[in-house]
Amino acid sequence: MKLLLLIGLSRPRFEFVKRNSGKLGALLLVLLMSFPGLCQVSVTVKTDRVSVEINGQPFTSLYKGADAHKPFLHPLLTASGKAVTRAFPMEHVEGEPVDHPHQRGLWMGFEHLSGMNFWELDPADPHPRMGTIAFRDVLESHSGKQTGGFTTTADWITPEGKSVIEQTLTLTFYAEPRDVRSFDVDLRLKAKATVTFEDTRDGIVGIRLAPLFDEANGGKVRNAEGVTGAAHIESTHSPWVDWQTDLQGETVGVAILDHPQNRRAPTTWILRPNCLVFANPFAQRYYSRALPDGSMTMQPGDELRLRYRVIIHPAGFDIGQAFREFSTQ
């Protein structure tokens, strides 16, 4: 059939195909990659969210609509499709805790920024001097065979309506290993006014895990130094923490890795037995008066960059090796 088509071409048209075969091949590759079914990491931008599929299975969505009050990821799923994050308040599951409605999946913010709260951003959990993290735009998104991801922008807006921080968030998702789900968080915060990240507990990246990760339900958390238990890890510095549990007959761990180039790495970890995890580079004197003040003031134009890797993995996964690989990037 191909031979008949070539014979049927006039010589000038044949020469055009011959001369431009490389360009046509590249164009064909781009067109093929635009079909999600041919990509192992597929990113789809929708009206109220950006959805991610890995190896043909749903993984997560970044909710960005006005009713989200802040961009957040929900749910985070294992390779087998089990949710490792709490469903509430996006979904109501019988018997699941309904405390702290602002703790939605994985989110970013800060409780005390120059006296303003950019953490508990939910009308059901009101606080004085409440700010807003308002989604602005999806700058770029791409699907791919091994990786895919997207970049979004948002504004940290004061109660008076002034934007004081411009947030740029890049999320990169990986297709391999197939029994693991991992992604990178690259957070850039650019000051548009003089602001201070105060030495306080709640911030800057948080995740609320599913109830089965609760220590009361058999969940176990450890850090890079081998310390176990949320109460013992709380306030300590470590390159990573890993929280594991039996999730409906499958041993599952959720590890959060702090990049060694982050401010004051290794970071301070804030943990609660009910499977709540924060990575916060500013919490120091909050825990001990013997430590120096961990607050940081930014002038207009200053930028803070923080990078983390989240790994949802089966039993036996080598977190130490994963951190070594991440630390070189």
Across residues 229-234, what is the average pLDDT?
97
Grade residue 33 by pLDDT with cuts at 50, 70 and 90. very low
Sketch the domain layout of the chain as residue ranges.
1-33, 37-327
Determine whether 126 is exposed, middle or buried from the number of CB atoms within 10 Å of its CB (0-12, 13-18, 19+). Answer: exposed
Give the three-class secondary structure for 24. helix
Count how many Cα atoms sit within 13 Å of the Cα of residue 72 in the half-sphere of its side chain. Answer: 33
For the segment 195-207, what is each residue's pLDDT rounded down to a tens digit? 999 999 999 999 9
Distance from chain centroid for Cα 225: 24
Where are the strands (E) in the chain, listed by range? 41-45, 49-54, 57-63, 72-74, 106-113, 116-118, 132-142, 147-157, 163-174, 181-191, 195-197, 203-208, 220-223, 240-247, 250-258, 268-272, 276-280, 296-298, 303-314
Residue with tokens 């998104």: 141
Rounded to whole angstroms, the Cα distance separating 42 from 33 reads 10
Weakest mean pLDDT among 79-93, 114-128, 158-172:
114-128
Query: For 135-150, what is each residue's pLDDT tens digit?
Result: 999 999 999 999 999 9
* pLDDT, tens digit, 9 for 90 and up, residues 110-125: 999 999 999 998 887 7
Q: Taking a C-beta distance cutoff of 8 angstroms, is the pair 36, 44 a contact? A: yes
The structure tokens listed for 124 are: 């059901």
Amino acid at the residue 314: P
pLDDT at residue 17, as a whole number: 38
Cα–Cα distance measured from residue 283 to residue 199, given in angstroms and rounded to the nearest whole number: 5
Average pLDDT along the chain: 89
Under 8 Å between Cβ of 77 and 58: yes
Is pTM beyond 0.95? Reply is no
Taking residues 158-187, what's their average pLDDT?
97
Nearest to 152 by CA among 136, 166, 163: 136
3-state secondary structure of 18: helix
Q: Which class is 37-327 in CATH?
A: mainly beta
Strand partners, 73: 62, 106
Contacts for 122 with CB less than 8 Å, ≥ 6 apart:
69, 89, 101, 102, 104
